[in-house]
Structure 1
Amino acid sequence: MFPYFKESSSVDAVNSRIAPDVDARIREVMTSLVTHLHAFVKDVQLTPQEWDVAIDYLTRTGQICTTERQEFILLSDTLGVSMLVDAINNRRPPGATENTVLGPFHVSGAPSREMGACISLDGKGESCLFEGTVIDLQGNPVAAACLDVWSDNAEGFYDVQQPDIQPKWNNRGVFTTGADGKYRFVGIKPVSYPIPHDGPVGKLLAALGRGPHRPAHMHFIVKADGFQNLITHTFVGDDTYIKRDAVFGVKETLVAPYERNDDGETLWRSQFDFVMTRV
């Protein structure tokens, strides 16, 4: 029987129009999307006025997007969808270092630096020694592991946000471990900062009583032959926003110690070992 559109059978009416020869994955995704979307509309009893607001919101979200700013990704981030997709696609065994979102400020081609070098080029901020070991799940050191690291500066901006103010490659660098798997470099203790909140995403956060800030963190991409690539952050545990990350990037295992280092060459020291998973 032909499924005429009715409230009670709306899902069948829509999904039955999918052609029998379409790609199986497209069918799976769209069938589920329609099913959940219709269930949501029925659950909240969406009004025409609310539907208009939703369409206008999505329109404005698209209109603010540029090659430098992707408001839809920001929306995905603040709704926890980006982190969920990342978690589903980066499941690891217990004990392995967890993934988190890449973020929008990674830049390929950062300079390789000698182990122990300083990546802070503007001389601002509280100096911090970052050190630890890249190991496998059995505790063996991983040689020739490449660590691509980056952070904001003392004012909460990445160098690409201030190309006329910060030196190029400020607070960025690439380090390669030796046979002992150890890494060591000097940067600054990172600071918290707000995500862009002057657009539709910012208005949504305000309407929900949520703030736009991310807690202070250092970014890492760790790669080694024979191991899964690791994209992660380490977070400053006493940061004001550690439990209010606007993009839900904080995981308990990624909260790193930041200890005063009054007798050392830097003001702070952060020790963190990265546990890699074999492919």
Structure 2
Amino acid sequence: MNTDFVKTQPVQTLLDRASGVDVEGGDRRLKAITRDLVEAVMTVIVKHDINESEFWKAIDFFQKGAGEFGLIVPGVGLEHFLDLYMDAKDAEAGLSGGTPRTIEGPLYVAGAPLVEGDVNLSDDADDTGTLYMSGTVTGPNGEPVTDAILHVWHANSMGWYSHFDPTREQTPFNNRRRIKLGKDGRYSFHSKMPNGYSVPPGGATDQLMKAVGRHGNRPAHVHFFVEAPGYRTLTTQINFGDDPFAADDFAFGTREGLLPVPNRQGDTVHIAFDFQLQKSAEATDESFSARSRLAV
């Protein structure tokens, strides 16, 4: 059947009623978004001739996999799409430069210790090498950013993040810190080196990736938020440029400018990486998105 079926009067009337656009009250923007979203789903149903059983199997999959939505969203490219969309809006507004943004992922934890100086992120012993990372945080003209805070978090050698580790063996906030920078904008930290990892075997994300012929692996990487008064808050991460999955990250977190190649010396790894922030145009530029995050 042709997708024009969705444009027939009975279906359009149904959409108006279901989204509340034909009644007073409610949020107009939410009504419009709901209508367009449901219409898009209807169009996909007709376009691919999805039958009743297929539809309810999909609903069942999402219900059972609700706990992995934070992985499914980047896995299907939606989180990376948001980065591309924000980049395009910046370009349209004449904004350019700065360290590229990329996906946050679902594993940030608010409330990590606020520390200064040459910081050790790792509280736990780990059977892996040591990562040393350093650099500067500057503004668009190369000026050191004053009063910046660098949020850092990464996995351990087994690919587990503290607070989300199913073994429950990690110390709270292991491999997590907020680093308060000095007036020179310089930072440095060391930690037990992270490794790449895969999505939970047999979980909803793993099932979906296999069903579409893809893997669920991520390269070794380190996550960052960078915030400072007068500058746009940056959400980004670096992927190890020599990791076999650096060019094939299931979550699409790899971006040009975020792939430093580590300097490996035995079991020690050195990475030099500088962050450049953009000036904020309004107060909301300096805040974090409204994404739900674990707070401890």
Smaller-chain TM-score bracket: 0.7 to 0.9
Structure 1 unaligned residues grouped into runs of 5+: 1-5, 63-69
- State how 1:1-279 maps to structure 2 within 5 Å: 9=8, 11-17=11-17, 18-21=21-24, 22-62=26-66, 70-89=67-86, 92=90, 93-124=95-126, 125-162=128-165, 164-261=168-265, 267-279=268-280
Counterpart-to-counterpart distance in 2, 1:252 and 1:268: 21
**C-alpha displacement of 1:149:** 0.8
Alignment check: 8 A CA contact 1:71 1:201 kept: yes
Counterpart in 1 of 2:289?
none
TM-superposed deviation, 1:157? 1.4
Give how far 1:202 is off: 1.8
Amino acid across the alignment from 1:26: L
Greater CA deviation, 110-119 or 147-156?
110-119
Q: State the AA in 1 paired with 2:143.
A: N
CA shift at 1:29, angstroms? 0.5
Q: Alpha-carbon deviations, 1:17-40, whole Å to 9, x = none? A: 232434220232123213322221
Q: Output the amino acid matched with 1:227.
A: Y
TM score, norm. by length of structure 2: 0.80
Give how far 1:87 is off. 4.3
Q: Deviations over 1:164-198 (max 9, x none)?
A: 42233222222122221111111233210112242
Q: Which moved more, 1:235-244 or 1:44-53?
A: 44-53
Greater mean alpha carbon deviation, residues 120-129 or residues 131-140:
120-129
Residue 155 of structure 1 and its aligned partner are, at CA, apart by 2.0
Q: Report the residue type matching 2:15 in the other structure.
A: N
Distance 2:68 2:164 in 1: 16
1:47-73: CA deviations, max 9, x gaps?
2332232233233334xxxxxxx2233
Partner letter of residue 88 of structure 1? Y
Aligned partners of 2:119 and 2:179 also within 8 Å: no
Q: Using the alignment, how far apart are the partners of 1:24 and 1:74 within structure 2?
A: 30
Change (3 A) 1:52 1:131: same
SS at match of 1:33: helix
Aligned-residue CA RMSD (Å): 2.4
User: Can you give the 5+ residue segments of structure 2 that lack an aligned partner in the other structure?
Assistant: 281-296
